[in-house]
Structure 1
Amino acid sequence: MKERIIAHVEKHLETYMKYVEQMYAHPEIGNEEFETMALLADALEALGFETQRAFVCPTGFQGVYQAQKDGPVIAYLCEYDALPEVGHGCGHNLIAAISLAAGAALKEVIDELGGEVRVIGTPAEENFGGKVTMAAAHVFDDVDVAMMIHPSTEDRLGGRTLALNPLKFEFFGVNAHGCHPQQGRSALDAAILSYTGISLLRQYAQPNTYIHGIIRNGGEAANVIPAYASMEYYFRGETMAYVKELCKRAEDCVKGACAASGCTYQMSVYECPYEDNIINYTLCDLLKEAYAEVGRTDVLPVDEVPSGSSDIGAVSYVCPSLHGYIKIADACVNGHSKEMADATISSQGKQALRDGAIALALVGCRLLKEPALVAKAKEEQAAILKK
């Protein structure tokens, strides 16, 4: 079965690489990936998957292949939204191709093993959380294991991520002429006081906590007391419970600023909140073995220091999930850069496509052959959720 999985990926590698290159050449930002959705859905249909387009999200999709025998449901997750200006600087075009190729390779052997393989297109990871929307729509409720591999500057089994809550504060005052400020109430003053108070929270926050924001609106003319101002913030921490506690303290700063300036405010969630990522070490161990099978032996362990945020967290709270990393560039290349985008279509990117797809397919094969591993992964996830 291993040989057949490898043979499939290598036979179709040039085709899969063309998908990577096409997405690179035509990047689409979150919730606008209509061309990409069609490209990947067409590919799945050609590979024999039963495909749904506009699945849950306007640019989401799902390809399903079910064996004649019952067995676990293995899902491979595709990301494919790009970033403004830099295109696929986070390598989502490569993620999509790796997951598609892995699902197709597992399909080659699943009839003998039993079970179901799904390739799920999860759009808008960067800001709008396609996986969050799909988790809320119960897409992953009957999935036994969900998997993906993210391009990086190192091979790594996974890493913790930060919970994220994006808040917008809007301030409402009274316009007045700049020479008659006593007749007005400055919304900008309320915003500045709030910004200062929230900034001071940083030194009292727990480790691995981040507060970063901007003043989005602050007035239109220097000689007019602004009646409207707004700020947008990201609050990040190790758990959503703590992040929400921090957000409550930030709102207290805003309340005080409004009391001092005579203004009012409104608070809203302006983007999709992300949960932290639950690491499943059972699946990480399987990925390590699969990486060794394709010659990647210098693999780093799970990064236990949380960093960044991703909507994979929403999936990890529903079913055992694997979010590994694969090297496509040297450490000098920054994430979310044009150089990282270029790396996805390099020879190193192509090698990562081959190795990552084979590795994910081999992990899926192990899970189908050994249901006890699925049970172990589920037990591990359940134990973490009970804490």
Structure 2
Amino acid sequence: MGTYDTGKPGPTIAFMCEYDALPEIGHGCGHNLIAAIGVAAGEALKEVIDEYGGKVLVVGTPAEENFGGKVSMAEAGVFDEVDVALMVHPGNENGVGARSSALMPLKFEFFGKSAHAAIPYDGISALDAAAMSFVQINLLRQYIKPHTSIHGIIKDGGEAANVIPDYASLEYYFRAPTMSYAKEVSEKATEMVKGISEANGTRVEVSEYECPYEDTVINYKLANLLTEKYQALGVEEIRPVNEVAAGSTDVGAVSYKCPTIQGNIKIVPDNIGAHTKELADATISKEGEKGLVHAATGIALVALDLLENPELLEEVKAEQEKTLAKLS
């Protein structure tokens, strides 16, 4: 983490950076550009913050894709004294924030007894328990609330067709607009799986195989500020806050600690999605460079507004407190 402290009283502004890449594709999620945006914004604010007081942080946040670096950092208190955290994600649209789904990742491991498939009555099939659980969890989908999703795979199911498998496993993601409901759905699924496992004569172990992600708390005052800055910079077709929660991100953990914004900047056409080679290539193109400048300037100017107008910062923090009170 890079820190510049003026030594004078004032707010602490954090610019978040990401940098993990994807296997084979490389930076198909644009984390290299996110890192550059955060560093550039931090350097820009450092040039003027002495006039106002406070601190600038450039926070490197590893392992966003699977292991939730921001979650561990939030739990460790990295953001406890931060007044506002900002970042921008590259992609196929310009935007000022979006809700994200809470995520509960569960692994179900089934333990049975192996036997030759010609004498299956001497064994207990872990795969049967996994397959029945997979079907039962699928049936749960019709009873869950809107904007909630369940998706999973049979991770292990045996090695040979002529052997009754003594081990099988399922991996699932349970997503919902709030963590409380994601947990509720995952707990229902767990109870189903335990019942099936018992009926089948197997033993089941349930674990979180990846880091759970909180949903993202939206701060509309920050979103409005970034909209103004984007417009002043000539950024076009700016999408307002996306109210429908979709994917999940570890930014959610930060958003429960302090007012947070994750904007978007367009560097690829509408038909190019995330986690693609095309987006990876775009991060080091002219469009990527243009997006970097717009995004870094935009969030640096938002931070400057908050330094220049303490009352505005208090409004941002008041909205945060009000929103968290509603969610609690």
> Does TM-score exceed 0.5, indicating one fold?
yes
Instruction: Name the SS for the 2:275 alignment partner.
Output: coil
**Partner residue of 1:234 out of 153, 173, 183:** 173
Q: CA deviation at 1:297?
A: 4.0
Q: CA deviation at 1:347?
A: 1.0
**Partner residue of 1:293 out of 214, 232, 235:** 232
Asked if 1:255 corresponds to 2:207, the answer is: no
Quote the Cα distance in structure 2 between the aligned partners of 1:371 and 1:172.
59
Q: CA deviation at 1:69?
A: 2.3
Quote the Cα distance in structure 2 between the aligned partners of 1:68 and 1:335.
41
Quote the Cα distance in structure 1 between the aligned partners of 2:249 and 2:307.
27
Q: Could you tell me which residue of structure 2 aligns to residue 18 of structure 1?
A: none
The higher-RCO structure (CA 8 Å, 6+ apart) is: 2
Quote the Cα distance in structure 1 between the aligned partners of 2:49 and 2:232.
20
Q: Could you tell me which residue of structure 1 aligns to residue 17 of structure 2?
A: 78
Give the unaligned 5+ runs of structure 1.
Answer: 1-61
**Partner residue of 1:331 out of 230, 253, 270:** 270
Q: Could you tell me which residue of structure 1 aligns to residue 95 of structure 2?
A: 156
Quote the Cα distance in structure 2 between the aligned partners of 1:64 and 1:375.
23
Instruction: Name the SS for the 2:270 alignment partner.
Output: coil
**Partner residue of 1:347 out of 278, 281, 286:** 286
CA contact (8 A) 2:11 2:83 kept: yes
Summarize deviations over 1:350-369 as a string: whole Å, max 9, x none.
10011111111111111111
Quote the Cα distance in structure 2 between the aligned partners of 1:370 and 1:73.
14
Quote the Cα distance in structure 2 between the aligned partners of 1:272 and 1:252.
21
Alignment of 1:9-20 (within 5 A): none
Q: Could you tell me which residue of structure 2 aligns to residue 202 of structure 1?
A: 141
Q: TM-score, normalised by structure 1?
A: 0.83
Q: Could you tell me which residue of structure 2 aligns to residue 90 of structure 1?
A: 29
Q: Could you tell me which residue of structure 2 aligns to residue 106 of structure 1?
A: 45
CA contact (8 A) 2:91 2:273 kept: no
Q: Could you tell me which residue of structure 2 aligns to residue 44 of structure 1?
A: none
Instruction: Name the SS for the 1:306 alignment partner.
Output: coil
Quote the Cα distance in structure 1 between the aligned partners of 2:53 and 2:17.
23
Quote the Cα distance in structure 1 between the aligned partners of 2:297 and 2:97.
17
Q: CA deviation at 1:260?
A: 2.7
Q: Aligned letter for 1:206?
A: K
Q: Aligned letter for 2:325?
A: K
Q: CA deviation at 1:144?
A: 0.2
Quote the Cα distance in structure 1 between the aligned partners of 2:299 and 2:178.
28
Q: Could you tell me which residue of structure 2 aligns to residue 35 of structure 1?
A: none
After TM superposition, what 4+ stretches of structure 1 lie above 6 angstroms from structure 2? Answer: none
Q: TM-score, normalised by structure 2?
A: 0.98
**Partner residue of 1:276 out of 215, 218, 238:** 215
Q: CA deviation at 1:298?
A: 2.6
Q: Aligned letter for 1:133?
A: S
Q: Could you tell me which residue of structure 2 aligns to residue 115 of structure 1?
A: 54
Alignment of 1:311-330 (within 5 A): 311-330=250-269
Quote the Cα distance in structure 2 between the aligned partners of 1:378 and 1:364.
14
Quote the Cα distance in structure 2 between the aligned partners of 1:249 and 1:385.
26
Give the unaligned 5+ runs of structure 2.
Answer: none
Quote the Cα distance in structure 2 between the aligned partners of 1:142 and 1:286.
22
Work out the number of aligned pairs and report it.
326
Q: CA deviation at 1:300?
A: 1.2
Asked if 1:385 corresponds to 2:319, the answer is: no
Q: CA deviation at 1:259?
A: 2.5
